[in-house]
Amino acid sequence: MSEEKVFVPVDNLRKLHLIYSDTCSTCGICADYCPTYLATKDPELIPGKKHEFALKLINAQKSFLRMIFGPKPVDAKELREKVNHLYTCTLCGRCSEVCSYNVDLHSLWANLRVSIFKAGFAPEPLKALRDTIKNAKDPYGAGLDMRTFWVRRARLRSVPVKDKANVVFFVGCVTALRAQTRMVAASIAQILSFLGEDWTLLGDKEWCCGSPIMMAGDEETAKEFAEHNVEVIEEKHADTVVVGCASCYRMLRWEYPTLLRRRPRFEVLHIVELLDRYLEEGKLKPVKSDVPVAYHDPCELSRLGGVIKEPRRIIKALTNNFVELPENGVDTRCCGGGGLLQAFNNELRVKIAMERIRQAEKVGAKIVTSACPACKLALLDGANSLGSSVEVLDIVELLARQLQLQPK
C-alpha cells in the first residue's frame, strides 16, 4: 500500500479506550488545566480536540463496521500533521485528574504513542532519541563508561559499587549525566553514607530506566531495558532500590511489574519516602532556616505516584517558612519537563516552566525545590529565561546543604 493510505495498529488499545476517546472528543472541560494549551492557546492542543483524530484512528479498526468489513487505512498526510498535536503533551495526567467522566486519559495518550510508533509515524526527534538510548543506554549518547563520572565531577572521594548491599541507589540518566543535576546524585550519596546505610551503585551496569523509550512509544525496547535493570539489581540481593527521579520511580515501581508480568524482588522508594522515614525515626536532624521555600510537585511523583505528604514534611523540617505553590499536590501544575517535550518542542517546555517560576515569585519563595531532575532542569531554564532571582534546588540538595555535608 502506498504511503497515501496507511494502517495504524491499535491492538494495544482496549474497547474502553474507544469509549474514552468518544467521550473526550465531545468535551473540553480540561482545556484550562492542560499545560500545553494554557501556554499556547492553540485549540488544536485541547485534549478533546486531539481526541477527535484519536477516535478516527481507533474507529478505523475497532468500530462495529470495521469488525465486519475489516480495518480501514487512514490518510498518511493527515496522520503526520495530527501526530505533532498528539505528541505536544507532557503526559502530566492532569486532564485525567479533572475529568468529569473519570476518563483515564494518561493511559490513552501513552497507548496511542505505542500505536503511532509501531506505524512508523512518531516524530523524528523522538525516533532519534530512542535510537540513541538503545545504542548508548542513555538519552545523551554518553555511554556506560560515563555513568559514574558525576562522582569525580562532584568531588566525592568515592562511592560504593559492591557485589551485595541492602540498598541500591539507581541514579538515572538525567541525574548522572547532566551538569546541572549531578549534585542531586552527590547529595543522595552523601546522605546515604551519612546515615550509615549499606548501599551501592550499579555502576556501568545501570541502563536508562526506559521511561523516555516508553514515552516515545517503543514498548518492546522499554521491556528489554526493564529486564536488564531488574536482573542486575536482583543480583545485588538488595531489599530496597532508591531513586531520586520521578520518571525512574514511576518506571521501576509501577511500569516494570506490568512490562515484566512479575513483581521484582525489591521495594522501590523515592528518596523522599526514605528520608521521611528517617525524620520520623529521629535519624535526621537538619538545621532549620527562615528562608521561604516552596515545593513543586513532579507530576509523575505526586499525581501519578501518590507521593505528596513526604516532601512537605521534609521541607518543614528544613525551614520555618514553607510556602505552598498554587495548583499543588494531586492538582500540581506541570513544569513542562515531562513527555519528552524538550526533545520535541523545547521552546514550549521553557514557556510552561516560566509560569511555574512566576507562581513561586508571587508567593514570595526565595527557593523553589522539587524532587525530580527533569523538573529541576525545566525550572532552572524557566528562571533563567525570566532573569528570576528564585533559587532552584532539588529537595536533597537543600537537605545536604543544611546537614552541612560537603564533598570530601
| Range 66-91 average pLDDT | 82
Biggest distance spanned by C-alpha atoms of the chain: 70
Instruction: Tell me the C-alpha distance between 351 and 355, whole Å.
Output: 7
Lowest mean pLDDT of 9-18, 95-104, 161-170, 366-375, name the range.
Answer: 9-18
Determine what percent of the chain is predicted with pLDDT higher than 70. 96
Instruction: Tell me the C-alpha distance between 55 and 335, whole Å.
Output: 28
Following CA atoms 160, 162, 164, 169 in sequence, which dihedral angle do they give, to the nearest 10 degrees?
Answer: 40
Give tens-digit pLDDT for 112-165.
899 889 889 999 999 999 999 999 999 999 999 999 999 998 889 889 999 999
pLDDT at 75: 83
pLDDT at 69: 66
Q: What band does 360 get if pLDDT is binned at 50, 70 and 90?
A: very high
Please spell the DSSP secondary structure of 91-115, one letter per residue: ---HHHHH-TT---HHHHHHHHHHH
pLDDT at 246: 97
Lowest mean pLDDT of 99-103, 207-211, 224-228, 259-263, name the range.
Answer: 99-103
pLDDT at 133: 98
Which residues, 6+ apart, have CB-to-CB distance to 135 below 8 Å? 141
Q: What band does 3 get if pLDDT is binned at 50, 70 and 90?
A: low
Q: Tell me the pTM.
A: 0.93
pLDDT at 52: 83
What is the amino acid identity at position 331? D
pLDDT at 64: 63
What is the amino acid identity at position 229? N
Mean pLDDT of the chain: 92
Enclosing H/E stretch for 5: strand 5-6
By three-state DSSP, how is residue 64 classified? Answer: helix
| Range 365-380 average pLDDT | 98
Give tens-digit pLDDT for 8-60.
777 777 777 777 778 888 888 899 999 999 999 999 999 888 888 888 877 77
Give tens-digit pLDDT for 312-322.
999 999 999 99
Q: Which residue has the higher pLDDT, 372 or 407?
A: 372
Instruction: Tell me the C-alpha distance between 289 and 319, whole Å.
Output: 5
Instruction: Tell me the C-alpha distance between 82 and 52, whole Å.
Output: 10
How far does the chain reach from its first CA to its final CA, in angstroms?
Answer: 64
Determine what percent of the chain is predicted with pLDDT higher than 90. 74
Order of all β-strands in the sheet with 199-200 = 199-200, 167-170, 240-243, 267-270
pLDDT at 105: 83
| Range 254-264 average pLDDT | 96
Give tens-digit pLDDT for 279-330.
999 999 998 999 999 999 999 999 999 999 999 999 999 999 999 999 999 9
Enclosing H/E stretch for 144: none
Q: Report the candidate in 35, 265, 245, 218 with the shortest Cα–Cα distance to residue 118.
A: 218
Q: What band does 2 get if pLDDT is binned at 50, 70 and 90?
A: very low
**pLDDT(101) > 90:** no
Domains located in the chain, CATH noted: 5-121 (1.10.1060), 126-276 (3.40.50.1860), 285-402 (3.40.50)
The answer to whether the beta carbons of residues 79 and 121 sit under 8 Å apart is: yes
Sequence-ordered strand ranges (E) for 78-209: 167-170, 199-200
Instruction: Tell me the C-alpha distance between 139 and 154, whole Å.
Output: 21
